[in-house]
Amino acid sequence: MLSIARRRVSPGGSSSSILGQSFRAIRPGVSAPRVYSTSGGEILHHPKGFGHVQNLCKLILPGCSASLGPMRGATISLTQRSTMQLQQRLFSSDSGDLVDAVVPFMGESISDGTIAKFLKNPGDRVEVDEPIAQVETDKVTIDVASPEAGVIQKFVAKEGDTVEPGTKVAIISKSGEGVAQAAPSEKTSDKATSQPPPAGKSEEDTQGAKVESAPVIEKKPKATSTPPPLPKHSASEPILPPKERERRVPMTRLRKRVATRLKDSQNTFAMLTTFNEVDMTNLMKLRSDYKDAFVEKHGVKLGFMSGFIKAAVSGLQNQPIINAVIDGDDIIYRDYIDISIAVGTSKGLVVPVIRNAGNMNFAEIEKTINTLAKRANDGTISIDEMAGGSFTISNGGVYGSLLSTPIINPPQSAILGMHSIVNRPMVVGGNIVPRPMMYIALTYDHRLIDGREAVFFLRRIKDVVEDPRRLLLDI
């Protein structure tokens, strides 16, 4: 097929047979046809020759589109396959009894990950598509599934390894033959043989051999020496704790990604925060009056987050600049409202997105929040569910935060911070009465958003939450 230069083929076709053997040596497991035609007994070549591995792969495997340049008298037909099928054929040898479990495709923007942990052990039985390992990326956690039902023969990677899509992680035996399984009795016997026999007994009692054990030589106790004096420290030299009292743990990919994005946000945006306070009396009364009927009809509880999301939608519609973003020398105005919700998990902060929040009612918002929060805590949330978003709401009040200045989530231009509800004395109608109050904060990019728009937006949040009837009358 290919050669460094054009070559004439003898009538016997010895050159083509040699090349065919070379290709079979390169990829013995591929059974796909190699479609080509020649004219005049010539073997055509690619300008980059065999040294160009990518083009060689494209010729051998269907599913790769290749531009082979000007080729006289030749036609090559390549079928289109999915990326997952190509990786499976490149990295998984499913011939015979053994199959390879490989790292799946992890997303367009993710090139590698770290093996966080193995969910199975060598010798364990697995079913088709059963997860056997987890790969942690800077966004989500990906499961490595078994391609066939069988028994795990061995792992070819270990925890902490950096892997790419298509990397082989384990070998699965479909029949379960040749898998070494260590029985519990073997482990205990190994420990028993490694320990010396007790004093006064022969090795025959422990190992069955007629060899008397060596006599025990009693050692005289060494004379205790006085401990060395502690080193003297000068008054200016601090006394540091010993290193044995410290633990060094590598950062997870998700934590490193969050740290990078937050620092980039701090270095890029001209962040400014404005504050206000909200009287939660009416929203809490609305929730109390209709919570049972709401659960009975919709199957979810009515929370405060849906009220703030509806208020944020109203504010973004009144102040569209809050929903915009700077891109180079341009301003991109978004005609949709996708609101991100910051969710704290045991592995780090994730921000799933509620798509088209402006078209949802209270029940639809609550159902979406519950689904995304559960998937985030379970570690099953996908990249698509966290991509995009035009505005973020962070509820630090669930942890008891009274006041904070949230950091913008790039590439957005603003973020709303909710906080805890505290009864405080307020003046209502000339009288001092206790009211459930919440501080709210809006951090915004001052390069794009002026103080006037930011204050008006926060006032709209306050007005709608304090009197939800405004949503019905659109005032």
**pLDDT tens, residue by residue, 196-223:** 444 444 444 444 444 444 455 555 555 5
Q: Report which secondary-structure segment, H or E, holds 278.
A: strand 271-279
Q: For residues 374-388, give the mean pLDDT.
A: 85
Percent above pLDDT 90 for the chain: 38
Q: Which band of pLDDT confidence, cut at 50, 70 and 90, is reported for residue 349?
A: confident
Q: What percent of the chain has pLDDT over 70?
A: 67
- What's the pLDDT at 222? 55
As a whole number of angstroms, the distance between CA 362 and CA 205 comes to 76
- For residue 375, count other CB atoms closer than 10 A to its CB: 17
Q: Are the C-beta atoms of 466 and 279 separated by less than 8 Å?
A: yes
Please indicate whether residue 143 or residue 244 has the higher confidence score (pLDDT).
143
At 327, the amino acid letter reads D
Q: Which CATH class is domain 83-173?
A: mainly beta
Q: Taking 90 as the threshold, does the pLDDT of residue 276 lie above it?
A: yes
Rounded Cα distance, 6 and 23, in Å: 18
Mean pLDDT of the chain: 76
327: its two tokens: 């891109």
450 is catalytic: yes
Catalytic residue, from 143, 446, 463, 467: name it: 446
Catalytic residue among 450, 463, 467, 474: 450
Of 44 and 116, more confident: 116
How many angstroms separate the CA atoms of 407 and 71, rounded? 57
> Is 233 a known active-site residue?
no
pLDDT at 321 over 90: yes
Please state the domain extents for the chain: 1-81, 83-173, 254-473
Please say if the pLDDT value at position 324 is more than 50: yes
pTM: 0.58
- What number is the average pLDDT over the span 393-420? 94
CA 216, 217, 221 angle in degrees (round to 5)?
Answer: 130
Q: Please give the Cα distance from 431 to 307 (Å, whole number).
A: 28
Check if 83-173 and 254-473 are the same fold: no
The CATH number of the domain covering residues in 254-473: 3.30.559.10
pLDDT bucket at 234, cuts 50 / 70 / 90: low
Residue 232: predicted pLDDT: 57
- Least confident interval from 208-217, 285-294, 309-318, 458-467: 208-217
Q: How far is the C-alpha of 204 from the C-alpha of 196, rounded, in Å?
A: 12
pLDDT tens by residue, 112-145? 888 888 999 998 999 988 999 988 887 778 889 9
